[in-house]
Amino acid sequence: MEFLQHIADSFNYWIFIILMMIGLYAMVAKNNLVKKLIGMSIFQTAIILFYVSIGYKENATIPILSHALIHEVHHEEAGHYKEAVQEAHHDEGNAAEAAHAAAEYAAEKAGKYLEHSDHAILDINPDDYVNPLVHVLMLTAIVVGVATLGVGLAITQKLYGEFGTVEESEIIEAIKFEK
């Protein structure tokens, strides 16, 4: 029972491992080149599933800020930062050395945003959004998967044109016979 509970808790890893092993078996053991390529695709899909599932976070949404949020904070936040900068400059005169450095830093930081004060300074909670990095990595992995699949199919097609078969063993036989 405990074991089943463990599987239920980490079912995403189990599915990932099962899919990956199906793909690996197809690549290693199948004799047909097209089936090998199908195995490669399943393998890649398993890895995509793995990455996306470790990026998932409970009570979090996709890593895209909503426009409503941006517009809401738009004006008032910019105003706040203007005040902060003025305050920072005001304090500068009578503050100690440490406070001086801190104020300068704050002013610099606020000033950076102030140059174009029409941008909102959003207070974003990292717990609300999932990690965007895994999605970026998988986005490129999908495209590279298509590219490798294309090259693989092209080689298979060329071999078929040359030997008239896509069975690996028959191709090896034919090459031996030629020698």
Partner 1 sequence: MKIIGFITVIITALLLLQAERDFPNWGDPESPASSYRLSQHYITETYHETVVPNMVTAVLADYRGYDTLFETVVIFTAGIAIIGILRVFGGNQAEHKEPQLTKQKPDLILQTTCRLLLPIIQLFALYVVAHGHHSPGGGFQGGVIFGASFILLALCHDLKYAQKWVPERRILNLAGFGVLLYAGFGVAALMFGENFLDYGILTHLLPGSIEEARSHSMLGVEIGVGFTVTAIMFSIYSLLSSNGKMKEGI
With binding defined as CB under 8 A, does residue 66 bind partner 1? Answer: yes
> What is the SS3 assignment for 65?
coil
DSSP label at 94?
T
CB 22, min distance to partner 1, A: 9
Q: Which stretch binds partner 1 (CB under 8 A): 83-91, 100-108, 129-137, 170-178?
A: 129-137
With binding defined as CB under 8 A, does residue 97 bind partner 1? Answer: no
In this complex, which beta carbon is closest to partner 1, that of residue 103 or of residue 138?
138
With binding defined as CB under 8 A, does residue 75 bind partner 1? Answer: no
With binding defined as CB under 8 A, does residue 54 bind partner 1? Answer: yes
With binding defined as CB under 8 A, does residue 62 bind partner 1? Answer: yes
Closest CA to 159 of 167, 59, 13, 93: 167
- Beta pairing partners, 129: 61
CB 93, min distance to partner 1, A: 29
The residues, ordered by sequence, that sit 6+ positions from 7 with a Cβ below 8 Å of its Cβ are 14
- If phi > 0 it is left, if psi is from -120 to 50 it is alpha, else beta; for residue 121 that is beta
